[in-house]
Amino acid sequence: MNKTVFIAGLLLIMLVLLGFSEAADSKQAQTSRNNDEVVNVYGPGGPLGPMKELAERFTEETGIKVNVTAGPEAKWIDKAKQDADIIYGGSEYMLRDLMLKYPGMIDEKKRIELYPRAAGILVRKGNPKNIRSLEDLTKNGVKIIDVNGAGQLGLWEDLAGRKGLIPGIDRNIAISVKSSAEAIEYWKSNSKYDAWITYESWHYRLKDETDLVQLPDEDKLYRGTPISLTNDSNNKKKAKMFIDYLKTEASHQVFQKWGWK
């Protein structure tokens, strides 16, 4: 009798374990299917405005969901290693830097350039310091935020160098940070900062907090917006469809609306 009870109990345990295993396999398969239905896009915060708008349009037009995650690299890189289908950069060197740090992650053969964007000067609403040019950034009392990274590495120096303004602008840099997210925090929390040499596109994300001083055509600098499929993407066909969509003239117009050329 005891032996019969033992065998019945053992069979019951085996059936329960088999059920758990099948349920786990089913859940894993469902998760895999769900991931294949979503195009996961990662990159810095600068191009988020047009990327997000175009992802929503693409989903409406095709039914393919596109999830855009943007911000400082440290906040998304671990997740991107697991499920990224597409990665974009805020400048050419940013994507190159990512390729050097994580060899094999980005499909170099599928890497393309979208649209360039120009550098400009963001100032306080109403431009109380009457900043109209790069030369004005060398005036006494002007406090500048510098982003030493995030697509802006060396940006102010390239602008200032050809006009002999490096010492004057360098003298007025009040704070240097690593990312645009940090710069925005300081800009919003402390009105003592007067100017930020960055991309014109940031003004369109910060219209309530900034005015834009555009540089003359002869002074403008442009940097690119590269994008690429990842090597480990399980959804390359749909991801490529989204990249092709970004290259259309209608998408170009959206980028232009957000400050791209």
> What tokens appear for 40 in the block?
């996961």
Per-residue model confidence (pLDDT) at position 131: 98
Contacts of 218 (CB under 8 A, 6+ apart): none
Radius of gyration of the chain (CA): 25
Domain parsing of the chain, residue ranges: 38-115+225-257, 117-222
Identical topology for domains 38-115+225-257 and 117-222: yes
139: amino acid identity, one letter: K
The CATH code belonging to domain 117-222 is 3.40.190.10
Is 90 exceeded by the pLDDT of residue 80?
yes
How many angstroms separate the CA atoms of 24 and 39, rounded? 24
Over range 21-38, report the average pLDDT: 49
DSSP H helix total and E strand total for the chain:
10, 11
Is 90 exceeded by the pLDDT of residue 29?
no
Over range 25-49, report the average pLDDT: 71
pLDDT by residue (tens digit) across 140-166? 999 999 999 989 999 999 999 999 999
Instruction: State the pLDDT confidence band at 37, using cuts at 50, 70 and 90.
Output: confident
Is 90 exceeded by the pLDDT of residue 43?
yes
Strand duo 112-113 + 144-147: pairing? unpaired
More confident residue, 25 or 87: 87
CATH 3.40.190.10 assigned to 38-115+225-257: yes
Per-residue model confidence (pLDDT) at position 26: 41
Over range 1-10, report the average pLDDT: 52
Per-residue model confidence (pLDDT) at position 130: 97
- List C-alpha distances in Å: 204 to 47, 54, 115, 149: 11, 16, 16, 20
Q: Is 90 exposed, middle or buried (0-12, 13-18, 19+ CB in 10 A)?
A: buried
Per-residue model confidence (pLDDT) at position 23: 45
Per-residue model confidence (pLDDT) at position 7: 54
Per-residue model confidence (pLDDT) at position 138: 98
| Out of 20-34, 47-61, 105-119, 227-241, least confident range | 20-34
Contacts of 132 (CB under 8 A, 6+ apart): 213
